[in-house]
Chains A and B, each alone.
Chain A
């Protein structure tokens, strides 16, 4: 019997005017927002995380705080970290290894084009260099990475090769010469695409060359720390904080440095994304609420318009419950249609969004279609439709057959 109501409702819906469908706009927008957001959600998280240079390794990053402006990490700090800090951290019992990095912004010239790019240093010591490499999570797509004794040689980010439009239409490949702060360097490798604008445009060189160019002496912009026990990241982090508070003579809560773990950075990313998600969820909720009101409206109108039909149904034996179910099913299906269109459109927006992010940020995200979510959304829109239809369906069921037949 219930299937009869569904087929009857479908036949009625087929003949609905544009006005009925317009009232579904709210449900449509709500579902579109939810579906596109969620299918983009993971991609969005990956995109933001990669921009912030978050990798999945279990390393700790130490930076001096009190930034005085924008620029490469550590470059604007008032009170820099030093090689002595690195040594002290390395002596901690919970620390396996610590390595310093220096980063600065340099004038890069190739094919008569000048750009300003981040220049990063790599330690001479192999162990430290491996630590830095693993913290950066980079590999060479062409050539090789910097080794000790690689004087006058650089490795450049993927965009030097992959975006020739940055360099007057010419790609940087291994063997070509690029000048940094008017010194010529030989390119020996290109790093694989990371998807972060910082890493894909970076110039990496030996720390001796870097010292010659920038002369930072004892200062360390970033210290990368490898804990002895990867599971005790938090404990190691606290040890480093304690040590640096003493060394820099600051009280707890007034640190002029920052010790961060990937988890902490990731949780910052997540809280940003959660904020966006809550906002869109609110928008979706309001839309669906307006959509529900639209369904109430269109169903109420429909009850008035189809009074005669209700009278006829009752005269041929329909009980009040039959009429009630009939209108409830119709209203539920109306909601479901809004949901289906919204889900399709939401997926489409997610798809376009992924393409756009990939295009602008150089990432390689794929669309994350969550079928369970879509299923639940569709059930939800069916329920919203049905709930919106309760009051109109009750008024339809309660029509007096004699009056209803009069129309």
Chain B
């Protein structure tokens, strides 16, 4: 069994992302290098305008850097075509958004199935895996509900299930509790912690220092597009649980 720290999942090398806003050059991400290892719970912390959203887009391969290299699971993604990027993020990254971003015309279960559709998984497998995932986030009895019929916390749990659909290397959560009250927010965080305990790498973007400190073992403090400081807790993960999670997600 792999031990934590053996494998780099994400590496940024001298990454810059510059925008032109009118005549001004905005250095959203300015020469950032960082490493995220498998199984880590990482928070990217910073006030608004610190470049954390841009960081998330780059890590999530939604955007390409102006310069520098980004490695996702060992592969340089900074030069890939749009279609290849789409395939990579579909396979290796699971997104969780502040505003849930569920498709309102589809049921909860159908929403969970969407990422698998773009990876050409057969329909029966999608059905089976989606049911398992809904079970995992304890919403088995809400599978055929539409997002509008679910509470915010339930919607975010559906989003968590969706983010796990293709068994990605990394879960990328952008202010996952931002639209939730404290209580439901902490339930959602419990689910993320549980996933992390079972070996999932989690990268959370937040402006809330308490949330970052409470859950993440590594916190990158961002300011004006640069990493101001990095804080680490002692390692928690022992490597157990990874296989258990896979089973829960419906893999053999």
Contacts and interface: CB of A to CB of B under 8 A. Distances in A.
B182 interface: no
Given A317-B89, A402-B63, A405-B97, A12 B105 contact: yes
A320 B86 contact: yes
Interface stretch (B113-121, B192-200, B203-211, B227-235): B113-121
Given A314-B86, A401-B62, A405-B97, A319 B118 contact: yes
Interface stretch (A252-260, A305-313, A332-340, A363-371): A305-313
Q: Categorize the interface residue count of chain B.
A: 20 to 34
A317 B57 contact: no
A321 B118 CA distance: 11
Nearest to A7: B110
A312 B103 contact: yes
B95 to A, nearest CB: 5
A11 B109 CA distance: 14
Contacts of B89: 315-317
Given A1-B120, A316-B162, A11 B105 contact: yes
B50 interface: no
Interface string A109-151: 0000000000000000000000000000000000000000000
Interface string A148-179: 00000000000000000000000000000000
A14 B105 CA distance: 8
A319 B83 CA distance: 5
A11 B106 contact: yes
B83 A316 contact: no
A319 B103 contact: no
A315 B123 CA distance: 21
Q: Is the interface of A mostly helix, strand, loop or mixed?
A: helix
A316 B62 contact: no
Interface string A383-396: 00000000000000
Contact of B90 (A12, A15, A317): A317
A322 interface: yes
Contacts of B186: none
Nearest to B91: A317
B119 A317 contact: yes
A316 B95 contact: yes
Contacts of A402: 57, 62-63
A318 interface: yes
Interface string B101-133: 101111000100011011110010000000000
Contacts of A8: 106
B105 A317 contact: no
B75 interface: no
A322 B105 contact: no
B82 interface: yes
A313 B62 contact: no
B166 interface: yes
Contact of A308 (B90, B101, B105, B166): B101
Contact of B118 (A11, A14, A317): A317
A322 B118 contact: yes
A318 B103 contact: no
B144 interface: no
Contacts of A1: 117, 120
Contacts of A231: none
Contacts of B87: 317, 319
A321 B87 CA distance: 12
Contacts of A321: 83
Nearest to B113: A4
B47 to A, nearest CB: 19
Contacts of A14: 105
A314 B86 CA distance: 6
B60 interface: yes
Given A315-B89, A317-B86, A319-B83, A4 B117 contact: yes
Given A315-B60, A321-B83, A15 B105 contact: yes
A315 B61 CA distance: 9
Nearest to A1: B120
Contacts of A312: 97, 101, 103
A316 B115 CA distance: 5
Contacts of A314: 62, 86
Contacts of B165: 316
Interface string B164-181: 011000000000000000
B117 A319 contact: no
A309 B117 contact: no
Interface string A1-36: 100100010011011000000000000000000000
A318 B101 contact: no
B95 A315 contact: yes
Contacts of A4: 117, 123
A47 to B, nearest CB: 49
Contacts of A308: 101
27 contacts: A4-B117, A4-B123, A11-B105, A11-B110, A309-B103, A311-B101, A312-B97, A312-B103, A314-B62, A315-B60, A315-B62, A315-B89, A315-B95, A316-B89, A316-B115, A316-B165, A317-B89, A317-B91, A317-B166, A318-B86, A319-B82, A319-B118, A320-B86, A321-B83, A401-B62, A402-B62, A405-B97
Interface of A: 1, 4, 8, 11-12, 14-15, 308-309, 311-322, 401-402, 405
Given A11-B106, A315-B60, 11 more contacts: A1-B117, A4-B123, A14-B105, A15-B105, A309-B101, A309-B103, A317-B118, A317-B119, A320-B86, A321-B83, A322-B86
Interface of B: 57, 60, 62-63, 82-83, 86-87, 89-91, 95, 97, 101, 103-106, 110, 114-115, 117-120, 123, 162, 165-166
Closest 5 pairs (CB-CB, A-B): A317-B90, A317-B118, A316-B115, A319-B83, A312-B101
